[in-house]
């Protein structure tokens, strides 16, 4: 799962702790999360991730260059989430906040397909 977020983004501030919960539940099954912090202040972003105890990695993309590399996907909309299967194929694209239930559902389906 790749999530494009910013500490300044209200929906991101809601979904990030929920993403951490899902990550904690599924990481031992091989599910990987990556945050991409776009157009943000590094100190604000770091403080936010520490505050919500987010353990999954997040890279700093202050100018949104990584997001722009995802041509054909709305990664420049924050928040945006792209779910990939084990083969790197897109299994889901979400613009706006993703609920914990929706994320768990798509990831559980992918785990079932791969026998996880």
Query: Kind of pairing, strands 58-61 and 80-84?
Result: unpaired
Q: In total, how many domains does the chain have? A: 1
- Residue-wise pLDDT for 3-34, tens only, equals 999 999 999 999 999 999 999 999 999 999 99
Task: Give me the CATH number covering residue 42.
Answer: 3.40.30.10
Contacts of 22 (CB under 8 A, 6+ apart): 100, 103, 104, 107
Q: Containing domain of residue 84, as a range? A: 2-113
Q: Cα(39)–Cα(99) distance, rounded to whole angstroms?
A: 23
- Residue-wise pLDDT for 51-95, tens only, equals 999 999 999 998 888 877 877 776 668 999 999 998 989 998 999
User: What is the predicted pLDDT for the residue at 77?
Assistant: 81
58 DSSP β-pair partners: 35
- DSSP string computed for 47-73: HHHHHTT--S-EEEETT-HHHHHSTTS
């Amino acid at each position: 799962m790749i999530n494009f977020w910013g500490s300044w983004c209200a929906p991101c501030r809601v979904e990030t702790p929920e993403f951490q919960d899902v990550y904690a539940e599924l990481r031992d099954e091989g599910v990987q999360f990556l945050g991409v912090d776009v157009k943000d202040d590094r100190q604000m972003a770091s403080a936010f991730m520490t505050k919500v105890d987010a353990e999954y990695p997040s890279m700093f993309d202050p100018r949104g260059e990584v997001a722009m590399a995802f041509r054909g996907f709305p990664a420049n909309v924050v928040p945006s989430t792209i779910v990939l299967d084990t083969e790197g194929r897109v299994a889901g694209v979400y613009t706006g906040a993703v609920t914990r239930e929706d994320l768990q559902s798509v990831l559980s389906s992918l785990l079932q397909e791969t026998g996880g």
